[in-house]
Amino acid sequence: MSSQDIPEENLPQEQGAAHGAAGHGSTAVAQRADDNPFADPGLPAHKPRIQDIDERAAKRSERAVALMFTLSMLATVGFIACFVIFPVDKLVYIWPFGRVSALNFSLGLTLGAALFFIGAGAVHWARTLMSDQEIAAERHPIEAAPEVKAQVMADWAAGNEESGFGRRKLVRNTMFGAMALVPLAGVVLLRDLGPLPEKKLRTTLWAKGKQLINMNTMEPLRPEDITVGSLVFAMPEGLGYDDHEFQKEIAKAALMIVRIRPDDIKDKRELEWSHEGIVAFSKICTHVGCPISLYEQQTHHVLCPCHQSTFDLADGARVIFGPAGHALPQLRIGVNTEGNLEALGDFAEPVGPSFWERG
Ligand code: FES
């Protein structure tokens, strides 16, 4: 479509004016522009900021920006200091997060502050001190002119000829080989992701005679502590929150304990592995390993918050909904001579995600 075909009121002002001047006269065009409710109003008039007209305000903004960049520098120095000062296994209590690694917390805090203050300083600088004049840039065709395209193709052909890329096949082919092999170096580095887990993920700290410890009170659990409808989390005796390996071990050994009326338990093995209806299941979802904590006491269903896998604790913790591929492993429990709940062995199968070979 040529500009001849476009209604004049839709043409850019200059073009429309020129067109109008040639055909009908500028007075008529101005008249139509006044009547056109969709005419481009152009950019609003620039309003100077306080910093544009008051040098003292500009200086204040400058100092604020400098302060933020200085805080960023201090935070970076703090980051390095924390890296040196805190041992990797030091835990601290920080409200409201609870017990966290001092090193991770301090590194995250200082690095976050360093980046935040760089960003805040840059934004403040741009908003208060840099020019805020709006400028409209006209669009131009981006396609190269035919003669430029022809020149590029000629240069390409000349470069190909001069490099001998097409003629010297030995050089070309060995270069392809070298480039194909280089990524293998990165694949080899994957070996550094750590030693293979071997059997470590197939066993947990649970063993015959290990008492079940309430994770909230850190006291041994007794059958009378667990009422129908309640949900209690337990970990093995001997494991403490301060232990170096705590996170690794609890990620495999965490238990959910509920009491179900024995008549309501549908799975025969589950009933045999329970104590007076008290059943202990792994708290680690068999989909991708989220900790499960939502218990519906009327139905005895537990729901994983990550992808909504739902397990029926009254029926061997089988999956009744969601992407998990296996029932939650059950821990066989009993009561020791002191009247405390204890494990009667380790889990019979690996806990956690379903990709483990089970057999
Ligand atoms: S991790 Fe539990 S449903 Fe995905």
Using most ligand atoms within 8 A of CB, pick from 256, 304, 321, 354 the residue to mutate for ligand 1: 304
Burial (0-12, 13-18, 19+ Cβ within 10 Å), 107: middle
Digitized pLDDT (tens) for each residue of the chain, 359 residues in all: 344 444 444 444 444 444 444 444 445 445 555 677 777 777 888 889 999 999 999 999 999 999 999 999 999 999 999 999 998 878 889 888 888 889 899 999 999 999 999 999 999 999 999 988 888 877 787 888 899 999 999 999 999 888 888 788 888 899 999 999 999 888 888 877 877 777 788 889 999 999 999 999 999 999 999 999 889 999 999 998 888 889 989 999 999 999 999 999 999 999 999 999 999 999 999 999 999 989 998 999 999 999 999 999 999 999 999 999 889 999 999 999 999 999 999 999 889 886 555 44
CA angle 131, 132, 138 (to 5 degrees): 105
pLDDT at 34: 64
Q: Is 294 in the pocket of ligand 1 (CB under 6 A)?
A: no
Chain-centroid distance, C-alpha 351: 24
Q: Is 285 in the pocket of ligand 1 (CB under 6 A)?
A: yes
Query: For the chain, first and last CA: distance in Å?
Result: 72
What atom in ligand 1 is closest to the CA of residue 309? 3
What atom in ligand 1 is closest to the CA of residue 322? 3
CA distance linking residue 43 with residue 60, whole number of Å: 29
pTM of the entire predicted model: 0.51
Q: How far is the CA of 318 from the centre of ligand 1 (A)?
A: 14
Answer yes or no: are the C-beta atoms of 280 and 330 closer than 8 Å: yes
Burial (0-12, 13-18, 19+ Cβ within 10 Å), 90: middle
Using most ligand atoms within 8 A of CB, pick from 287, 302, 303, 328 the residue to mutate for ligand 1: 287
Q: How far is the CA of 327 from the centre of ligand 1 (A)?
A: 12
Q: How far is the CA of 112 from the centre of ligand 1 (A)?
A: 30
